[in-house]
Amino acid sequence: MSQDSNSTKQRTYAPSQEFASQANATADLYTQAEEQGEEFWANQARDLLSWSTPFNSVLDWSNPPFAKWFEDGKLNAAYNAVDRHVEAGNGDRVALHFEGEPGDSKSYTYSELKDEVSKAANAMESLGVSKGDRVAVYMPMIAEAVITMLACARIGAIHSVVFGGFSADALRSRIDDGEAKLVVTADGSYRRGKPTQLKPAVDEALSKGGKSVKHVLVVKRNGSDVPFENGRDVWWHEALEAASTEHTPSEQGAEDPLFILYTSGTTGKPKGILHTTGGYLTQAAYTHKNVFDLKPETDVYWCTADVGWVTGHTYIAYGPLLNGATQVIYEGTPDSPHRGRFWEIVQKYGVTILYTSPTAIRTMMKWGEEIPAEFDLSSLRLLGTVGEAINPEAWTWFRKYIGAEKCPIVDTWWQTETGAIMISPLPGVTETKPGSAQIPLPGIAVDVVDDAGTSLPNETDGFLVVRKPWPSMLRTIWGDDDRFVNTYWAQFGDKYFAGDGAKRDADGDVWILGRVDDVMNVSGHRLSTPEIESALVSHPSVAEAAVVGAADETTGQAVFAFVILSDHATTEARDETELSEEIRAHVGKEISPIAKPKKVLIVPELPKTRSGKIMRRLLKDVAEDRPVGDVSTLADQTVMQQIVDSLGTK
């Protein structure tokens, strides 16, 4: 039963009896984790994965912060994600429904996926790739991207996926950092109805670097005319046609590397995060099963992320397939060819579980609830979000217009570094609270501490740390153990420092206050970015907002707010000065006069990374009147210019 209180901010939503009674995870999971300690994870690893050599050692933490989980065990990730479902008699179940942007689609059963992954593994081996080699994957969101990742895992090669929207330079630096032997790419893709090209960026990257690269394997996706270097470049379809569907998965040690993935670079030079096999897969399967309540026989799961970021690794390529799920992957943008595309896909495949980002939800809000209302969304039973704190306003909208006021929402906090979800409600257990990721998952020891590392009481702002090693934790930064130690462990010694500010509310629920680098200090008061942004977004004319603290002579820092107007506010074309003033006053009323932005700047767009995160440091450059810094990891590199131009004319 839902419980009402006076303010929408504090309203909580208990899971329905119907949902709770069928949920995979019950409150008992917390008790088990508490009682069993490390053995809890050993049990998950044994229950959820198939080991070719069982492990005896659970955790080796003798050389912190370098953890080893299940070290003497052996297994193969691709065997676990694909083959064993076929062996168990589920070969005819659909593993992937691929939906192309132009509307083409193709489904792969687990048997078909096994054949494709085996062929790709054989093809890569015949190109000289073997265990431990690095493979750069620069692809659109097509089935072959997932097939490539699994093929790497099958032979023990380490994949390093680089977002397909990144520039040739970003690709080159990642290829060089990992010394990749093979690049897997596509001729191109489709974006907003038009064919785009990807292969030329690979050629450019390799002309400036990439000396380690021997071959480029190219998927023909849109048939566009791309340069081809004989000897080096190989067509995917030709290589796979020649390859056998028989392939024996290589036996990997639990601590053998599975992949490298660079963080989104919101705060500085991207870090090549290294994940290994046994622990990562354990937590991927465990969280996917319990947080998303997956029922492999009946659910249709869709995560809208790109494989270029960690969510696309753990919650597309690994977690769902380990659990034998049927999932949808979509190539394109949410507004192509129309703004109802997401909902059309939900309707077409009968999606039951939808995992997306707050930024996508705010975009849908901006477009208006009339759009989803045109589609049949009744198949949905669970919704999830990740990437940044979700504003209560967006959470409530999501629940109402997408979730028919019945779907539990799981707001999941985690990072590239953590490998899998760490803080989240359990959908059949937790009474959810809009805006808060709430509680650490069973088995995870999260804390909020002060700068000396001392645990803080509720209702006090501090730093988010993880107290105990967890299976899917990063093992290091590729090639840079020192940076690994300095970035995450130097601050608090034995605790992992996540880089995020946080506080626990009176109920002990965790609220993420944004990155510590983004926390603002106005006249001695620490202000959190998500809190002010949520207040801004709760103004009817504001669709999206980002705030930064800019140096200020009198107050130390002053709050600058950048806002995008909602569609109806844009149409009304109100006087901008008057509207800005109204929005400022609104924040003052919602939070406090101290939080009132010094300036509200109305802009056409906000600078976002590939994973939809706002890059506040660039806005800070604008607010402090400096040349704009490195924009190479922005999803759209022209955005900063648009913002500067729009402000210039005001």
Can you give the binding site for ligand ATP, defined by CB under 6 A? 263-267, 270, 309-310, 386-389, 411-413, 415-416, 437, 498-500, 512, 515, 611, 613
Beta carbon of residue 389, minimum distance to ligand ATP (angstroms, whole number)? 4
**Which lies closer to ligand ATP via its Cβ, residue 82 or residue 303?**
303
Has 518 been labeled as part of a binding site?
no
Alpha-carbon gap, residue 646 to 602, rounded angstroms: 8
Alpha-carbon gap, residue 302 to 503, rounded angstroms: 31
Sign of the Cα torsion 568, 572, 573, 579 reads negative
**Which lies closer to ligand ATP via its Cβ, residue 219 or residue 273?**
273
Buried b (16+ CB within 10 A) or exposed e, 494-504: ebbbbbbbbbb
**Which lies closer to ligand ATP via its Cβ, residue 421 or residue 563?**
421
Asked whether the beta carbons of 108 and 86 are under 8 A apart, the reply is no
Read off the tokens for 228: 């081809």
Beta carbon of residue 249, minimum distance to ligand ATP (angstroms, whole number)? 29
Beta carbon of residue 200, minimum distance to ligand ATP (angstroms, whole number)? 27
Beta carbon of residue 388, minimum distance to ligand ATP (angstroms, whole number)? 5
DSSP notation for 32-80? HHHHHTHHHHHHHHHHHS--SB-----EE-SSTT--EESTT-EE-HHII
Beta carbon of residue 278, minimum distance to ligand ATP (angstroms, whole number)? 22
Reduced 3-state DSSP string for 119-171 = HHHHHHHHCCCCCCCEEEEECCCCHHHHHHHHHHHHHCCEEEECCCCCCHHHH
- Who contacts 459 (Cβ-Cβ below 8 Å, separation ≥6)? 503, 504, 505, 506
Has 346 been labeled as part of a binding site?
no
**Which lies closer to ligand ATP via its Cβ, residue 72 or residue 517?**
517
**Which lies closer to ligand ATP via its Cβ, residue 145 or residue 498?**
498
Place of tokens 């595309």: 341
Place of tokens 């690709």: 171
Has 537 been labeled as part of a binding site?
yes
Beta carbon of residue 437, minimum distance to ligand ATP (angstroms, whole number)? 5
Has 191 been labeled as part of a binding site?
yes
Has 416 been labeled as part of a binding site?
yes
Beta carbon of residue 383, minimum distance to ligand ATP (angstroms, whole number)? 13
**Which lies closer to ligand ATP via its Cβ, residue 65 or residue 270?**
270
Has 232 been labeled as part of a binding site?
no
Has 288 been labeled as part of a binding site?
no
Has 183 been labeled as part of a binding site?
no
Has 413 been labeled as part of a binding site?
yes
Helices (H), 464-615: 481-488, 529-537, 567-572, 576-590
Residue 548's DSSP bridge partners are: 560
Residue 327's DSSP bridge partners are: 96, 301
**Which lies closer to ligand ATP via its Cβ, residue 253 or residue 358?**
358
Nearest-CA neighbor of 500 among 540, 449, 536, 549?
449
Has 526 been labeled as part of a binding site?
yes
Beta carbon of residue 613, minimum distance to ligand ATP (angstroms, whole number)? 5
Helices (H), 157-269: 168-178, 199-208, 236-241
**Which lies closer to ligand ATP via its Cβ, residue 95 or residue 547?**
547
User: Binding site for Mg(2+): which residues?
Assistant: 537, 539, 542
Binding annotation:
191-194, 311, 411-416, 500, 515, 523, 526, 537, 539, 542
List residues forming the annotated binding site for CoA. 191-194, 311, 523
Binding residues for ATP: 411-416, 500, 515, 526
